[in-house]
A and B are shown apart, each in its own frame.
Chain A
Amino acid sequence: MPECTNPLWPCAMTGAAAALSGFDGITVIIHGSSGCYYYPATLLHAPLQGTFIMEEEVIFGSEERLLQVIKEVSAPGTRVAVVTTCVPSIIGEDIRSMLASSDVLLVDSPGFSGDFEPGYLKGLLSLEPRVDDQNPGINIDGVSLLDPFFRGNVRELTRLLNNAGVPVATVFCADAVEKVSHAAPFTVTTNSDLASGVGRTLGGTLGLQDLRATFAAIGDRIGEADIGPVLREIAVKEEHIIQVCDKYLRRFDPPRAMIFGWASYAAFTAAALMSYLDADIAFIGTRTPILPDLPCPVERVDSFSRVRDLIIEYRPDLVIGSSFERSVNPDLAFVGLTPPLRGRVRLASMPVAGVEGMLHLIEGVLNACMDRNRK
């Protein structure tokens, strides 16, 4: 792997921890040092446990320490999951055999093995999700504690599905762990970069166009579903969006935007800005290897130095991304879309997905651009 200046994306260990700790009924132990523990613990805001191994365990073996911590955190009604970090993965201990006689789940997802997404998927699949054909609901996937919008996404999709008379089945990954083995046959996704692969996907929920298509598919597949209220809400809210964007364009030029984040979030945002604001999408930088097919330059951007160079080169007036992108030029209009979003107080559960997600995005973009135009 080539060297990298100020890498911007969390490692596979954090991904596995994010997937597993999203489930009630799982106690996650980070098997590694305190340094490896504190980052996911502070980033995910989840009650993680750690073995906090030290030099003596590296030299003489960590089995006793790991078993000690497992014993301490074990409780009735919860299952323990151990996520390994870099050093325990390479010192040659056979942790799997060590835990073979117990119900403890082992996820070998060290940081050096890759980025957040493969680790997340590995953590999710370690729970061996199963589809229950009798489950009448729909699963929601693409949900991760890393995502500042995950709670808002789950609430918004739950609201929309309930409005269509469809119960929510399993939320991957923010639900009770028992529901993992009784997932519904159909799934809608909030973020295809974190797609679970569980159940048949009926489509995405980012943007009103995808939302319409997905609910049409729900109407086709689920006999009891009444998608009329949702389609009517989409139509009404879209009209509101068109009105406010039209009003904006009466006074101001469309923004020249650069977008950084998960490929699915970035693609949805670009499409929305082009559709409603006739925006010039100068550049899309994805954190993940999948590159969306869009009529603008698209590149995987995972280092801060590259972000800085690109923002200087493309001279946008609107930047959409994380607090890393925001810090390059705080004078530009900025909308937060991508973790981490530091330096701002955020208490409410705002969505990116669904109708409210689209409203939240457009509201954020217009307010940021108007604030900048008035400076």
Chain B
Amino acid sequence: MSSNPLPSNTSRFEGCTLTGALSITTSVTGSVSIVHGPSGCAHHNFSLLHATALEHDGVDAPSIISSCLSENEIIFGGEAALERALARAASLNPACIFVLSTCIAETIGDDAGAVCRVDWGVPVIPVQTGGFLGGVFDKGVNNALCTIADTAAPSTRQGTVNIIGEKNLEYEVEENHAELSRLLSALGLSVNIRFVHHVSPDEIAVLGRASLNVLRDEGQNPVGDHLRARFGTAYLPSFPSGLFCTLQFLKNVAAVCGVPSHPAVTMEQAVQEEVLAEFSDLAHTRIALNGAGLAGSSCGIAREVAGALTMKVSPRGCRVPLPVSPPVGTAGIRRMLHRWRRMINA
């Protein structure tokens, strides 16, 4: 049926909608996420999210309830199992309950929406998922962000900035956030909310107060469009990455928020010069960009940084590692250069 063979049809490898959505919903504090499917689906995701929490030095386990569909429900329908899971979740008195479907529930045709519309005494929010039947990982992330955004009402803007769609499973998520906050504070701006990264429903309610939304990456443009339509908030399509683009980011944010950019840009140029001076010993080193085929955007940044340090990029050079996602801001470049130096000196 598929016209594309294994290697070229990359959409096949982009993960599960359910995992993407859970990476967002489980970051709403005080909430419970129900996975309507076999317990294995919930276990796979709980294990992944738990491991990620440990990597981030956290100990809080996400709260996920499985409707535990087994052969019986697959034959006779799983709506009663979803009702039991909802009753259990409601008994925990959460701030809200997210209901996420799986490919197996979609295949057997359960009407999860109808079960969610019953009054459970707490807000029940169905999120469009459906495992691979719902799309891919990023689609799950975007669906969850748009669904949760709809719980907030428009409000008056207060000159702050929202950070939208942080990759909650990313190893460097906190470091990337710290760098973005540093750049914003250089412009005299503060973060309104991290949407959605460990925020409560009360905090989400003020989503519309920001003057600007900064998206994690361009794959979230549909979320940026959704938020602009709902709240009228402008957005920038990605976190800053690269020497030139980090400076340009400061100018773009300043322009949208109506603040002067020159002092912050001058200060950041000085920071970048300090970083490049710190790694001046790498000048004229010959490097090969490791994994360039997998990290195209990181490759572009790596070439820019190598050029700034007068390093030579050559297939016969020392293979240096590239970040999976492009390094964020000047701090991201500094960490990347430490990894390069370790590899070059190894």
- Give A residues with C-beta under 8 Å from B: 1-14, 33-36, 38-39, 43, 52-58, 60-62, 64-65, 68-69, 72, 86-87, 90-91, 110-113, 304, 308, 323-324, 327, 330, 340, 342-343
Contacts and interface: CB of A to CB of B under 8 A. Distances in A.
Given A54-B12, A111-B38, A324-B61, A7 B2 contact: no
A12 B103 CA distance: 17
B14 to A, nearest CB: 7
A55 B132 contact: yes
B100 interface: no
B227 interface: no
Given A5-B65, A330-B59, A324 B13 contact: no
Residue among B14, B50, B59 with most chain A CB within 10 A: B50
A14 to B, nearest CB: 7
B312 to A, nearest CB: 34
A34 B2 contact: no
B50 A34 contact: no
Kindly list the 10 A-B residue pairs having the minimum CB-CB distance in the complex, ordered from nearest: A35-B16, A11-B40, A343-B54, A111-B40, A33-B132, A52-B12, A39-B44, A112-B38, A342-B51, A3-B85
A81 B61 CA distance: 35
Interface stretch (B67-75, B119-127, B259-267, B292-300): B67-75
A10 to B, nearest CB: 6
A53 B107 CA distance: 14
Contacts of A53: 132
Give the interface SS of chain A, mostly helix, strand, loop or mixed: helix
B245 interface: no
Contact of A3 (B71, B74, B84, B132): B84
A40 B72 CA distance: 25
Given A87-B103, A90-B104, A324-B50, A60 B132 contact: no
Contact of B47 (A13, A33, A61, A340): A340
Give the interface SS of chain B, mostly helix, strand, loop or mixed: helix
A90 B38 CA distance: 13
B88 A57 contact: no
Interface string B264-275: 000000000000
B44 A34 contact: no
Contact of B1 (A64, A112, A113): A64
Contacts of A343: 51, 54-55
13 contacts: A1-B72, A4-B66, A6-B61, A34-B14, A35-B17, A56-B1, A58-B133, A68-B2, A86-B37, A86-B38, A111-B39, A112-B69, A112-B71
Contacts of A330: 59
A112 B40 contact: yes
Interface of B: 1-2, 5-6, 11-19, 37-44, 46-48, 50-51, 53-55, 59, 61-74, 81, 84-85, 88, 103-104, 107-108, 131-133, 136
B65 A61 contact: no
Contacts of A13: 40
B107 A8 contact: no
Nearest to A38: B15
A33 B16 contact: yes
Given A14-B40, A72-B6, A304-B61, A61 B15 contact: no
B74 A90 contact: yes
Given A54-B12, A90-B104, A3 B68 contact: yes
A53 B131 CA distance: 11
B71 A113 contact: yes
Contact of B13 (A5, A11, A34, A327): A34
A54 B103 CA distance: 10
B43 A8 contact: yes
A35 B132 contact: yes
A3 B88 contact: yes
Contacts of A111: 38-41
Contacts of B37: 86
Given A6-B42, A54-B12, A62 B62 contact: no
Nearest to A304: B61
B104 A35 contact: no
B61 A68 contact: no
Given A7-B39, A34-B14, A38-B15, A2 B131 contact: no
Given A3-B66, A8-B43, 10 more contacts: A3-B81, A3-B88, A5-B65, A11-B43, A12-B40, A14-B40, A34-B13, A39-B48, A56-B1, A112-B38
